[in-house]
C-alpha cells in the first residue's frame, strides 16, 4: 500500500486560509467608517457610521473561493485515501458530510472497501472530536455550492450599536435599529451641541449571508473558523495515522 499523499489537499487548505485572511482584511476596519462633522445649519456636531458597500461586494467572491477550497480539501483527502488503498481504481467518492452523526458514521463505514477501515476510523474519530463544528461546515458547503449565484446570496453587514468610550472607563452606547444598513449606507448615531470626547468609538457589528436556508448558520466569520478547525484536524489525523506505518 503506497503512502498517503496529501499534497493536493494541503495545497487547497493553504489556499483556503489565504482567502480567509483576505476576507477578514476586507471586512475588517475598512468596512465601517465613523465621521464627525459640524452641522452649520444647527450648530450641532453630528456623528455618523458609514458602510463601505463596495468592500462588502468585493468580499463575496473571496468568501466563495474560500468555501470552495475548504470543501475541496475534504474530497481530496478521500481521493488520496482511495489512491493509497486501491491505486488501480479511479473512482473517488465525495466526503459524505452529514449533520446526523449516526448517518455520517454509516456512510463512512460503507466506504471501507474504498479507503480501508483504518482510514474510516480516522475520519469518524475526527468528526466526533469536532462535532460542534459540523453545522458551520454545512453553511460553508452551501456557500460553496451557490457561489456562482450571489444574487441569491447577498452579504448583509449590520451594525448593532456604537459605544463611545469616555474617560474613566464609562461608555455611552447608541443603539442602531435592526436592518438599518439593508437600505442605507450611512446612519447618524449621535448629535449634540458639544463634541464627544476624543476617545475611541467601538462598533458592534455582524456579517451574515442570507438565503442559505432554514436552520443553517449564516455568520461566515464563525463558520469559516469552525470549518478550518475541522479540516485542519482531519489533515493532521490522516497524516499521523500513516506516519508510523
DSSP label at residue 88 = T
Domain ranges of the chain: 7-243
- DSSP E strands in 74-154: the ranges are none
The pLDDT value given to residue 169: 66
- DSSP E strands in 52-177: the ranges are 155-165, 171-175
Distance between CA atoms of residues 77 and 96, nearest Å = 12
Distance between CA atoms of residues 72 and 111, nearest Å = 18
Give pTM, 2 decimals: 0.83
Cβ contact 35:175 at 8 Å: no
The pLDDT value given to residue 80: 92
Residue 97, Cβ neighbours under 10 Å: how many? 16
What 3-state class would DSSP assign to 93? Answer: coil
Cβ contact 77:13 at 8 Å: no
- 75 contact partners, CB below 8 Å, separation of at least 6: 92, 94, 95
Distance between CA atoms of residues 99 and 70, nearest Å = 17
Cell of 11: 495545497
Give per-10-residue mean pLDDT for the chain (245 aa).
Answer: 84 97 88 92 94 87 93 94 76 85 95 91 96 93 76 65 76 84 88 83 77 74 94 95 64
The pLDDT value given to residue 151: 52
- 111 contact partners, CB below 8 Å, separation of at least 6: 78, 93, 96, 120
The pLDDT value given to residue 154: 56
- Candidates 109, 108, 116, 120; CA nearest to 87 is 116
Residue whose grid cell is 476510523: 121
The pLDDT value given to residue 56: 84
Amino acid at each position: 500500500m503506497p503512502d498517503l499523499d496529501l499534497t493536493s489537499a494541503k495545497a487547497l487548505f493553504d489556499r483556503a486560509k489565504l482567502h480567509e485572511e483576505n476576507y477578514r482584511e476586507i471586512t475588517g476596519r475598512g468596512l465601517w467608517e465613523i465621521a464627525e462633522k459640524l452641522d452649520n445649519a444647527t450648530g450641532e456636531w453630528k456623528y455618523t457610521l458609514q458602510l463601505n458597500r463596495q468592500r462588502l461586494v468585493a468580499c463575496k467572491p473571496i468568501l466563495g473561493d474560500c468555501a470552495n477550497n475548504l470543501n475541496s480539501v475534504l474530497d481530496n483527502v478521500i481521493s488520496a485515501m482511495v489512491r493509497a488503498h486501491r491505486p488501480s481504481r479511479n473512482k473517488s467518492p465525495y466526503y459524505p458530510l452529514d449533520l446526523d452523526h449516526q448517518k455520517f458514521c454509516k456512510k463512512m463505514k460503507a466506504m471501507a472497501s474504498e479507503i480501508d477501515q483504518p482510514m474510516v476510523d480516522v475520519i469518524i474519530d475526527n468528526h466526533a472530536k469536532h462535532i460542534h463544528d459540523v453545522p458551520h461546515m454545512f453553511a460553508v458547503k452551501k456557500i460553496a455550492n451557490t457561489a456562482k449565484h450571489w444574487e441569491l446570496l447577498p452579504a448583509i453587514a449590520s451594525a448593532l450599536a456604537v459605544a463611545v468610550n469616555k474617560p474613566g472607563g464609562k461608555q455611552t452606547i447608541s443603539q442602531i435599529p435592526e436592518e438599518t444598513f439593508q437600505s442605507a449606507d450611512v446612519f447618524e448615531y449621535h448629535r449634540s451641541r458639544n463634541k464627544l470626547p476624543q476617545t475611541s468609538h467601538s462598533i458592534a457589528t455582524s456579517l451574515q449571508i442570507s438565503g442559505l436556508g432554514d436552520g443553517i448558520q449564516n455568520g461566515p466569520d464563525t463558520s469559516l473558523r469552525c470549518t478550518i478547525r475541522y479540516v485542519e484536524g482531519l489533515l493532521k489525523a490522516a497524516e499521523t495515522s500513516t506516519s508510523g506505518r
